Structure 1
Amino acid sequence: MALPIRLCPILIGAAALGAVHTPAEARENAADLQVNVAIVDGCTVTTTDVAFGLIIGTRGTLRSTGAVDVQCTANLDFAISMDRGQHSQGINRRMRNAASGAYMRYNLYSDPAYSRRWTDQRAGQVRGNSGATGSIAFPVYGELTFDGSAVAGRYEDSITVTVEF
Structure 2
Amino acid sequence: MSQLSRLSSIPVGFALVCAASPAEAQSHQNSGDLELSVAIVDGCTLSTTDVAFGLIVGVAGEIRASGTVDVQCTANLDFAISMDRGLHSQGINRRMRNSVNGGYMRYSLYSDPGYSRRWTDQRSGRVQGNSGSTGSVTYTVYGELTFNGAAVPGRYDDNVTVTIDF
> Please, what TM-score do these two structures have when normalized by structure 1?
0.93
Letter in 2 for 1:18: A
Match 1:11 to one of 18, 39, 58: 18
Which residue of structure 1 aligns with residue 159 of structure 2? 158
Taking only the aligned residue pairs, the percentage that are identical comes to 63
After TM superposition, list the pairs within 5 Å mapping 1:10-159 onto structure 2: 10-14=17-21, 17-18=22-23, 20-21=25-26, 26-159=27-160
Runs of 5+ consecutive residues of structure 2 not aligned to the other structure: 1-6
What is the CA-CA distance between 1:19 and the residue it aligns to?
A: 5.3
Say which one has the larger Rg: 2
What is the CA-CA distance between 1:5 and the residue it aligns to?
A: 2.2
What CA distance in whole angstroms lies between the structure 1 residues aligned with 2:12 and 2:33? 51
What is the CA-CA distance between 1:4 and the residue it aligns to?
A: 1.8
> Please, what TM-score do these two structures have when normalized by structure 2?
0.92
What CA distance in whole angstroms lies between the structure 1 residues aligned with 2:46 and 2:10? 84
What is the CA-CA distance between 1:101 and the residue it aligns to?
A: 0.1
What CA distance in whole angstroms lies between the structure 1 residues aligned with 2:29 and 2:123? 64
Runs of 4+ in 1 over 6 A off after TM superposition: none
Letter in 1 for 2:151: A
SS in 2 for 1:156: coil
The Cα offsets for residues 92-151 of structure 1, whole Å up to 9 and x where unpaired, read as 000000000000000000000000000000000000000010000000000011111111
What CA distance in whole angstroms lies between the structure 1 residues aligned with 2:18 and 2:126? 87
What CA distance in whole angstroms lies between the structure 2 residues aligned with 1:154 and 1:18? 81
Higher mean C-alpha displacement, 35-44 vs 4-13: 4-13
What CA distance in whole angstroms lies between the structure 2 residues aligned with 1:156 and 1:49? 11
Runs of 5+ consecutive residues of structure 1 not aligned to the other structure: none
Letter in 2 for 1:93: R
What CA distance in whole angstroms lies between the structure 2 residues aligned with 1:18 and 1:60? 92
SS in 2 for 1:120: coil
